[in-house]
Amino acid sequence: MNTFINISGLFKEESWILPGARILDLEHIQGSCCYCDPKAEEAIREALQPFPAGGVHWIDSGDYHYLSKLWMEKISEPFALSLFDNHPDDQQTAFGSILSCGSWVRSAREGLPFMKADYLNTADIPGSLPLYLSIDLDYLSRDYARTDWDQGTASLDELLQKLSVLCSGHRIIAVDICGGITQAKGARAEDYRINVRTRSALAEFFRKWEV
């Protein structure tokens, strides 16, 4: 099942929603961009409450990557996080314990007892733990994605090859995908076109793997 979480309006601007997908419109929630204040965190957690952990979650731009942690809270078995991102997202938050797009991995390590390990940008994951896959499009070069963060150098083929290894060797509990750029941050038609092309390739990849 594909679930789209709309907070910034990104997917509306891209005009890209998969047929039959579940859509959660959270644009009304304030205090959620990059840093998620406690009131916003509780409101988002409540909105996610009816839904299981599984499936593919499209979670808006990288400003909201902390949503991965809220999805992982739902997992009730030991698992490992496999993260593809140009940033480790494990920094100490600048505002106490407030969840943020740069601190959510650290928060998950410290607060999720079922998360036993996390790995960054690798397909070499030992053991047999099931995986939660989290992908930020800023892992890719600008030939394959346009985001509002500094980006890596990977090609889409390189990412798909690593994902194939992971999907072949581990059970995948769920996937989330974030990243993109809105008009408010300077997006152009070419940026939308490139991102939609990459999103479509990822959607087809995970459809074939029946995630």
Per-residue pLDDT of 85-127, as tens digits, reads 999 988 876 666 788 888 899 999 999 999 999 999 999 999 9
Instruction: Using a cut of 0.85, tell me whether the model's pTM lies above it.
Output: yes
Q: Helices 156-169 and 189-208: crossing angle, nearest 10°? A: 20
Per-residue pLDDT of 120-148, as tens digits, reads 999 999 999 999 999 999 999 999 999 99
Domains of the chain by range and CATH? 2-208 (3.40.800.10)
Report the distance separating Cα 52 and Cα 102, nearest Å.
Answer: 25
Per-residue pLDDT of 46-90, as tens digits, reads 999 999 999 999 999 999 999 999 999 999 999 999 999 999 988
Report the distance separating Cα 35 and Cα 63, nearest Å.
Answer: 8
Amino acid identity of 45? R
Local structure of 175: helix, strand or coil: strand
Amino acid identity of 145? A
Report the distance separating Cα 149 and Cα 68, nearest Å.
Answer: 18
Local structure of 72: helix, strand or coil: helix
